[in-house]
Amino acid sequence: MNMRFLPRYRSLNIVNNRLKNAHLTMLYLVRKRLGMAHLPKLHYVSPNANWVTDEIGNSLVTEITRQYHWSANVTSTADWLAGQIVHYSELGVFLNYLTTSTNRHNTIIITVFHGNREGNFKKNVDLLINHMHIPTRILTACHIMKKRLLHWGATPEQVVLIPLGVDLSIFKPVSAEKRLEIRHKIGVPDDAFCIGSFQKDGSGWEQGLTPKLVKGPDIFLKVIERLHKTYKLFIILTAPARGYVKQGLEKLGIPYKHVILTDYHRVANYYNALDVYLMTSREEGGPKSVLESLASGISLVSTRVGLAPDVIHHEFDGLLADSEDVNTLAEHVAYLIENQDIRQKLIKHGLETIQVYDWKHIVARYYHELYLPVLHDLTALPIS
């Protein structure tokens, strides 16, 4: 460093520190005026292993801080926290800390997206049932899961139902010209009907040759196989561990494009290339694709799992079928291929439906329906 510039750098540092301190003082005064000067912080624990929960946490913390000036952060660990509000992003994260001091020294909130007392879920659900006294609140995103939690012994006061949200500034329709440009870049033929599936559905984080059946990759392939007999298809896949589906598509001779995205928001570009998003899961807590497809102006065909039946009004803004009902799922997609006017009607209504799921509205519900009652219990802060 040129020493003659050192005084200038020192002056800049002093100014920057003063501005920073002034900013912190202003935030303190705002929080104090709101009765929030000495509140515990919110720590949303997401272990950087699931980009969906990471994205939820980042959206939540950003909006909580912006709208309510409450100190909140996303962290990959709950170690060494005490006297705080700890919000575990999913059941598995909570179970990792089950016997630790974290749960004794903090106020605990758990998000439970999905699960039942069958197969791989049974062990985790049984552990939750046996430790239902630990969390102050259990958050879920759909009515199906709320009913299960109450049946398993959670109290009505514990269970809070708030759906997932979507960033409408990122997931949005594009012009016909832009859509065609995106399709050409991806390699979608002009005469092909393009179907999307953007969920991880293989075991592990490598090739994913062993199917994660709860996500319905076998159902997806059966539906695609039936449609392939009549229509020219092109499939777009994102997310890791899609090997099982890719192998199935190759055996059927169906062209596809698979991309693994490092930036979650880039998936918005791939929605804009689709004609239909097809969701065939047997069990879900979301998925976010239900909201993202509607927000992107893409017609949706989905099984009645997770928040799909809460969000979608059948034949108004999407088409629903029972889990594992291959015939109906295939018929729904074929109907949309044959009837572009119906597809446009679903899209129009879907864009109306999705407005209340914008993250700014959902975060307000998180604050008023989940966090503020907990803060009230801890501090006698008035609920408003």
- List the structure tokens of 287: 């998925």
- Examine the domain organization and report whether 136 and 200 are in the same domain: no
Structure tokens at 46: 């997401």
Decide if 110 is inside a domain.
Answer: yes
Residues 197 and 259 in one domain: yes
What confidence tens digit (pLDDT) does each residue in 164-215 have? 999 999 999 999 999 999 999 999 999 999 999 999 988 888 888 999 999 9
Q: Is 31 inside a domain boundary?
A: no
- State the residue for tokens 């900013």: 23
Count up the domains in the chain and report the number: 2
Q: Which domain holds residue 82?
A: 39-164+360-379
Same domain, 184 and 326: yes
331-337: long-range pairs with CB below 8 Å, 24+: 332/301, 333/195, 333/223, 333/227, 333/276, 333/278, 333/301, 334/227, 334/230, 334/231, 336/275, 336/276, 336/299, 336/301, 337/193, 337/227, 337/231, 337/275, 337/276
Per-residue pLDDT at 20: 39
Would you say residue 33 lies in a domain? no
pTM, rounded to two decimals? 0.86
Instruction: Please check whether residue 170 lies inside any domain of the structure.
Output: no
pLDDT at 2: 40
Q: How many CB atoms lie within 10 A of CB 268?
A: 17
In this predicted structure, what is the pLDDT of residue 39?
79
Helices (H), the chain: 6-33, 51-68, 91-96, 102-105, 121-130, 143-151, 176-186, 217-228, 243-252, 267-271, 288-295, 308-311, 326-338, 340-353, 359-365, 372-379
Say whether both 73 and 60 belong to one domain.
Answer: yes
Same domain, 125 and 205: no
What pLDDT was estimated at residue 130? Answer: 94
The CA R_g of the chain, rounded to the nearest whole Å, is 23
Looking at residue 381, its pLDDT comes to 53
For residue 193, what are its two tokens? Answer: 């009907």
Residue 142 shares a structural domain with residue 189: no
Residue 136 lies inside a defined structural domain of this protein: yes
Q: Is residue 10 part of a domain?
A: no
Task: Using alpha carbons, list the distances in angstroms from residue 179 to 56, 267, 268, 271.
Answer: 27, 14, 12, 10
Domain-located, residue 62: yes
Residues in the chain with pLDDT < 70? 1-38, 49-51, 380-384
Distance CA 231, CA 191 (A): 10
Q: 181: domain CATH number? A: 3.40.50.2000
Pair 137, 219 in one domain: no
Q: What is the pLDDT of residue 53?
A: 84
**Are 239 and 300 within one domain?**
yes
Residue 134 · residue 108 · CB < 8 Å: yes
Residue 206 and residue 300 in one domain:
yes
144 with 290, same domain: the answer is: no
Q: Are residues 333 and 364 in the same domain?
A: no
Q: Are residues 332 and 369 in the same domain?
A: no
